[in-house]
Structure 1
């Protein structure tokens, strides 16, 4: 029961925090920050608590392939939403189908170990290139009420509980791939679609691959730090590494756009 409560609290805090950022910065930065390892960190942490540090470390390496599937999901959404009616649910349906197919393909691959990071990076770069000429719609002010915020949190909690429960019966390869399921991103996209249509969701999905590097760094760090330091310290070290990457990336982006230091 305590583990169940902990999972719910962790998911709620992660989603409400991302919602707060999205409402104040817009879907573009929220898309980048959706690559921050919130959902994945929660799932891997509880894998470690329930199955051991070595299990979670191995799952993190399979999760790198899962990141490629999630990035593919965002790519398919972005491309499908282009030219669709603003209220159309077609992009979401096609993207979810793509996510399922890509996740099953990822878990069927032979173990790639840390080389999975190269696959995730290649898919992210491919997605960025494929969508670079996709015109973004005008900024949509996102001002969801409490129902949307807590609805997202509830969905995320259900997803975390479901994934960590299924890990008891699924092959480790599939459990690892599922660790990369967009726990915080998917509820945000789903409920933004309900309230605003697919335009802000498309912007969110388009910018997700820019933040994937943070998740790649986190997964690689977990694969090394969990067996060496344990789940608790390994999580802190991995968060520090992912945060450092994201800080450097955002700093580089500001310099590139002429924003200064």
Structure 2
């Protein structure tokens, strides 16, 4: 029964992101990919299987995992900007980079809540490094249903593997793996199979802008799971992450209107 719920949660997350990417475009979808769907699923089942305290501590290591995922997006963005738009090398090399970054993250000494500072600095650095990457004016995205459901099943497999490995891996590595881009990676692969590197690059470039939501979620899980338990703690953490993302998107829209008004005048 637990396996069924893991699959259901992963499928719903990927299908929902694909639906959003089709309707709001890869820029906003990239920001929304920072919403803690995959991380929430993994940490929730960590809590169910190992206890709230285990998941709480794993969430802190997950903050370092966020830095690894952000690095993965940077590598893809920069390589896709320099290579042919149909080349698979950006995807292959960025996945290799993700594995390397994750290995470094899990080998670091425990940083506790200061892992949030590392994740924040890496996200800001990613935004700076990719600032000059030009985006197409409009990227039409309409993935096929077969691709959506195929990637959803891939996300489900990833969740099953990560939660299964947590029974044998050290808590540090299990925590870093909780930040694996469970929903982002299948979506990037989906877009790459249906299109070329351009919409995937836009998605990856805008991912760091949404990382703040994941940082808030990780810190909230660390604080709320021991106090409220897994279920209520997940609800509280998702509420805080949602509030952050809503405030960020509202600020982003206001900033865009100010820029447009200044250019018009």
TM-score under structure 2 length normalisation: 0.96
Within 5 A, what are the aligned runs for 1:88-237? 88-237=87-236
1:107-134 CA distance string (max 9 Å, x none): 0000000000000000000000111111
What residue is the counterpart of 2:49 in the other structure?
50
User: Structure 2 unaligned runs (5+)?
Assistant: 261-265
Contact 2:143–2:190 (8 Å) recurs in 1: no
1:124-175 CA distance string (max 9 Å, x none): 0000011111101242211112101101110100000000000000000000
In structure 1, distance between residues paired with 2:161 and 2:138: 34
1:8 has 2:7 as partner: yes
In structure 1, distance between residues paired with 2:211 and 2:47: 22
1:169-194 CA distance string (max 9 Å, x none): 00000000000000000000012111
Contact 1:4–1:161 (8 Å) recurs in 2: yes
What residue is the counterpart of 2:250 in the other structure?
251
What residue is the counterpart of 1:65 in the other structure?
64
- Paired residue total: 259
What residue is the counterpart of 2:263 in the other structure?
none
Contact 1:68–1:124 (8 Å) recurs in 2: yes
- Higher mean C-alpha displacement, 41-50 vs 131-140: 131-140
